[in-house]
């Protein structure tokens, strides 16, 4: 009897010694399988390129620091990555891209800028942007430009920026631009050699918003809530001036070379806007080129980001609507937006 127990015990131990590695391997494979299963995120297969200015300072009559406006990067980065999108950052010079210090102070801080400052991956990308000349349009599904006063100087005439925008437009890939961002289209041509923005429905930073922000800066009328509720009389009067007088009146000569709204209108774009600082986004549907999504001001960037998700998810459906012409408009808390 004792011999039988010893035999059974030996057999049991032997069986465990043989089977345990098999169980261990199976368990490990199951863990690996779980690790490699992608999250069911709607944009997990989308790669989006964000282009930033490398200009850190502006000269002229009103010298000041420049750099990307924090909200114009933070909000779309956080919103799009939460949906699984893979974001890459590129700047003219590569390396660490400057951030406008005003946009990071408490007057302009938002939940997105605070979140982005704590986002290790986002901060790593910002500190090591790719050089724009090394970027190929074929590697991305969409391109976006963050807003910055520096882009007047290092992106408007930049051959690599013009090349990328042209390639995205020809490939009918979405182009996203916020606030002053549409100014990068100044030297981009359509397939027939004409001005790309001619006839396109767009929005951008209003001249009156440009005037209001400069007057607020001069008179320290911050936080932004004061700027939004202040008397707009002078801002609108200034905005009605010819461009050269506008820049002289606000001491922006040599600092801001031209006004985005004025540029777009002069090139034949169908410019639309809402009141100063209202959230407003426009998706152009006027021809068979790239899908163009523009936002009026920093307050529009969250709405713009959510609209951009819709475009990326329904790109094929949107393309079928292009022949009808016109535009889709999004405003307020998301009017016209179904996500």
- Cβ atoms < 10 Å from Cβ of 109: 16
Confidence of residue 18 (pLDDT cuts 50, 70, 90): very low
Confidence of residue 75 (pLDDT cuts 50, 70, 90): very high
Higher pLDDT among residues 39 and 200, named by residue: 200
Q: Which residue, 100, 266, 280, is CA-closest to 198?
A: 266
Q: What does the pLDDT look like over 169-184, one tens digit per residue?
A: 999 999 999 999 999 9
% of the chain at pLDDT higher than 70: 77
Higher pLDDT among residues 271 and 338, named by residue: 271
pLDDT of residue 232: 64
Alpha-carbon distances, residue 238 vs 42, 232, 262, 272 (angstroms): 45, 10, 13, 19
Do the Cβ atoms of 89 and 126 come closer than 8 Å?
yes
* pTM, entire model: 0.82
Sort strands 327-331 and 292-295 into parallel, antiparallel or unpaired.
unpaired
Summarize the confidence of residues 193-216 as an average pLDDT. 90
Asked which of 10-14, 68-72, 167-171 is least confident by mean pLDDT, the reply is 10-14
Summarize the confidence of residues 95-110 as an average pLDDT. 89
Asked which of 27-41, 122-136, 230-244, 273-287 is least confident by mean pLDDT, the reply is 27-41
Confidence of residue 250 (pLDDT cuts 50, 70, 90): confident
Higher pLDDT among residues 160 and 191, named by residue: 160
Give phi and psi for 166, each to the nearest 5.
Answer: -65, -45
Confidence of residue 145 (pLDDT cuts 50, 70, 90): very high
Summarize the confidence of residues 74-92 as an average pLDDT. 97
Partners of residue 178 on adjacent β-strands:
295
pLDDT of residue 125: 98
% of the chain at pLDDT higher than 90: 56
pLDDT of residue 229: 58
Q: Share the mean pLDDT of the chain.
A: 82
Would you say residue 290 has pLDDT above 90?
Answer: no
pLDDT of residue 238: 84
Helices 70-82 & 301-313 angle (0-180, nearest 10): 40
Tokens of 306: 């959510």
Would you say residue 95 has pLDDT above 70?
Answer: yes
Do the Cβ atoms of 141 and 148 come closer than 8 Å?
no
Confidence of residue 218 (pLDDT cuts 50, 70, 90): low
Cα–Cα distance between 236 and 241 in angstroms, integer? 9
Asked which of 63-72, 155-164, 267-276, 329-338 is least confident by mean pLDDT, the reply is 329-338
Would you say residue 71 has pLDDT above 80?
Answer: yes
| Contacts of residue 102, Cβ cutoff 8 Å, sequence gap at least 6 | 65, 108, 217
Cα–Cα distance between 178 and 286 in angstroms, integer? 19
Alpha-carbon distances, residue 63 vs 15, 58, 59, 250, 283 (angstroms): 80, 5, 4, 13, 34
Q: Which residue, 217, 234, 236, 237, is CA-closest to 226?
A: 217
Summarize the confidence of residues 50-79 as an average pLDDT. 91
Would you say residue 259 has pLDDT above 50?
Answer: yes
Would you say residue 36 has pLDDT above 60?
Answer: no
pLDDT of residue 104: 86
pLDDT of residue 55: 95
Give phi and psi for 307, each to the nearest 5.
Answer: -65, -35
**What domains can be seen in the chain, in order of their start residue?**
47-205+258-331 (3.40.50.880)
Cα–Cα distance between 60 and 169 in angstroms, integer? 34
Q: At CB < 8 A and 24+ separation, what contacts does 34-43 make? A: 39/84, 41/83, 41/84, 42/83, 42/84, 42/309, 42/313, 43/80, 43/83, 43/84, 43/85, 43/309, 43/312, 43/313
Cα–Cα distance between 302 and 279 in angstroms, integer? 9
């Amino acid at each position: 009897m004792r011999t039988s127990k010893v035999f059974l015990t030996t057999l049991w131990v032997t069986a465990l010694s043989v089977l345990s590695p098999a169980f261990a391997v199976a368990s490990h494979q199951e863990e690996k399988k779980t690790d490699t299963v992608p999250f069911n995120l709607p944009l997990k297969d989308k790669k989006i390129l964000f282009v930033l200015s490398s200009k850190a300072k502006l000269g002229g009559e009103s010298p000041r620091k420049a750099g990307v406006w924090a909200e114009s990067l933070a909000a779309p980065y956080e919103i799009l990555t939460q949906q699984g999108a893979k974001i890459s950052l590129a700047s003219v010079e590569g390396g660490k891209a400057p951030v406008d210090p005003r946009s990071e102070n408490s007057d302009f801080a938002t939940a997105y800028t605070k979140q982005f400052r704590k986002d290790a991956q986002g901060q790593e990308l910002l500190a090591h942007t790719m050089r724009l000349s090394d970027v190929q349009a074929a590697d991305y599904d969409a391109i976006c430009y963050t807003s910055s006063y520096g882009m007047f100087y290092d992106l408007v005439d930049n051959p690599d920026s013009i090349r990328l925008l042209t390639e995205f437009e020809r490939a009918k890939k979405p182009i996203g631009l916020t606030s002053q961002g549409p100014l990068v289209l100044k030297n981009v041509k359509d397939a027939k050699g004409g001005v790309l923005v001619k006839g396109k429905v767009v929005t951008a930073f209003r001249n009156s918003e440009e005037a209001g922000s400069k007057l607020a800066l001069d008179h320290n009328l911050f936080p932004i809530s004061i700027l939004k509720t202040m008397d707009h009389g002078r801002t609108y009067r200034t905005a009605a001036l010819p461009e050269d007088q506008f820049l002289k009146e606000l001491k922006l000569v040599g600092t801001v070379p031209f006004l985005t709204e004025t540029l777009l209108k002069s090139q034949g774009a169908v410019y639309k806007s809402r009141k100063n600082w209202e959230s407003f986004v426009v998706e152009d549907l006027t021809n068979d080129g790239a899908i163009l999504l523009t936002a009026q001001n920093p307050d529009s960037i969250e709405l713009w980001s959510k609209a951009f998700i819709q475009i990326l998810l329904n790109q094929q459906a949107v393309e079928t609507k292009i022949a009808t012409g016109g535009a889709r408009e999004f405003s307020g808390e998301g009017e016209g937006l179904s996500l």
